[in-house]
Structure 1
Amino acid sequence: MEKSIESIWKEGFLENNALIAPKINDLYNQKSTHLVDKFRRMYRININAIFIFAILILPFTYVTNMPYMGIPMSIAFIVIIIFSSKFKKKLDNIDASQNSYQYLKSFNNWVQDMVAFNTKMSRYLYPFVFLSLASGFWFGSIGDDVPGEEIVSRLLIDYPDMILVFGIPLFVIIGAICMVALLAYFGGRIGMWDLNLVYGGILKKLKGLLYEMDELRA
């Protein structure tokens, strides 16, 4: 009795060198390679874009009199580049000689590790970025008058009983703490949204392709 198309596909996936379904194997090999290569290109472009931003933000914030924002943000993005480069190296080391299914499974495992790390780091990154922005607006340019102190002086005229902590209004500190707490709590979700914004289309195709292969292998 002739084998069904489904059984042929299954055997084609189960045996890397199987001749029973060479065209199907070749098709999925091409799909797998194209998917991973496209992600690799986008990941490399993203790292380069972050590097450019980390460099350009320094002169930009200097010109706009907000170096206290630019310096810490530049450092933060350089840290991101360091970790992203390590993940890129792991991505490049995935064995492409595997069959299409194992190749995609290895890539998917890498994606899961990258997403988990990104989610964890985002809980610290977004609060840090917020504090950097706040510092830039509060302290202004190095060596000049502090804009935050000028604002406090004006507020004290209308609200002389305003409570200050190290020269900063208590309500500002409470607001900053609440914002940091919110960003830390929702940082993982924000990071995931950011990740899906850039790589969502490819990750969706990866999930669909793996599901299709798992169905054929079942």
Structure 2
Amino acid sequence: MEKSIESIWKQGFLAEDALVAPTLNNLYKQKSIHVIEKFKRMFRINQIAIVAGSVLFLAVSFLIGIPLMGIGFFLTLSSIVLVNRKFSRTLSEIDTSENSYRYVKAFAHWLKELVRVNRLMARFYYPLFFLFIVLGFWQFQVNGKRWGDAITHALIANDPGAVLLLGVPVIIIVSVLLLMLFLAYVGGRIFDWDLTVVYGAVLRKLDEIKTDMETLRNERVETDNRDT
């Protein structure tokens, strides 16, 4: 009985010495490369956008009188980009001449490490972003008067016994610290949401390819075991 396309595929898929289904193997390899290249382009564009945005925001922050916010954002975003540039270099080292399964597995390993490191960083940079925003608004001046001073005077007017630390009400310092701790706690989840929004469609497609490959490989192994 003639072999079905499915049986040919199972026998030939990703086998280094396979003499069958070379076209199907090549199609899967090209599909894998296409999806991964799309991710790489998006990743590169995202990094460029972060750099451009941080430089622009730095300039604007000086113009509107909130330089601490601009400097803080610029330094933090620059650190994120520098870390991810190292990942970009290691990504370019993945050998595309490998068969499609090994190529996808190598990329999946790279992506897992990328996500792990960025999730860890997110627990630090989201609280820092919040702190820089608070400092920026505290510095911001309206009619020659800083918002921070106006808030402090209003609190003292309502509570003359309010405790100050370096001229800042302790209740504000404690509130900011508590919110920073909360952001540190949920920072990884915020990063996961951000990752899904930006790269979700590409990552789902890659997962589908990887799942198909692993399923077919497992079926082929089971078939070989039965034959032996």
Structure 1 portions without partners, runs of 5+: none
Mapped to 2, the partners of 1:96 and 1:55 lie a distance apart of 35
Mapped to 2, the partners of 1:185 and 1:5 lie a distance apart of 51
CA apart distance, 1:63: 1.6
* Secondary structure class of the residue paired with 2:96: coil
1:132 matched to 2:125: no
2:15 maps to 15
Match runs of 1:1-218 below 5 Å: 1-16=1-16, 18-140=18-140, 146-218=146-218
Q: Amino acid of the residue matched to residue 89 of structure 1?
A: R
CA apart distance, 1:146: 4.3
Aligned positions, number: 216
Q: Amino acid of the residue matched to residue 185 of structure 1?
A: Y
CA apart distance, 1:76: 0.5
Normalising by structure 1, we get a TM-score of 0.93
Mapped to 2, the partners of 1:14 and 1:100 lie a distance apart of 7
Mapped to 1, the partners of 2:75 and 2:4 lie a distance apart of 59
2:224 maps to none
* Secondary structure class of the residue paired with 1:14: coil
Q: Which is worse superposed, 113-122 or 7-16?
A: 7-16
Q: Amino acid of the residue matched to residue 39 of structure 1?
A: F
Contact 1:6 1:216 in 2 (8 A): no
Q: Amino acid of the residue matched to residue 214 of structure 1?
A: E
Q: Amino acid of the residue matched to residue 100 of structure 1?
A: S
* Secondary structure class of the residue paired with 2:115: helix
Mapped to 2, the partners of 1:68 and 1:112 lie a distance apart of 34
- For residues 119-143 of structure 1, the C-alpha deviation after alignment (integer angstroms, 9 at most, x for no partner) is 11100010010011111111337xx
Normalising by structure 2, we get a TM-score of 0.89
- For residues 13-64 of structure 1, the C-alpha deviation after alignment (integer angstroms, 9 at most, x for no partner) is 2324633002211210111110111011101100100110121111111122
CA apart distance, 1:11: 2.8
Q: Amino acid of the residue matched to residue 105 of structure 2?
A: K
Identical-pair percentage: 42
Q: Which is worse superposed, 155-164 or 173-182?
A: 155-164
Runs of 4+ in 1 over 6 A off after TM superposition: none
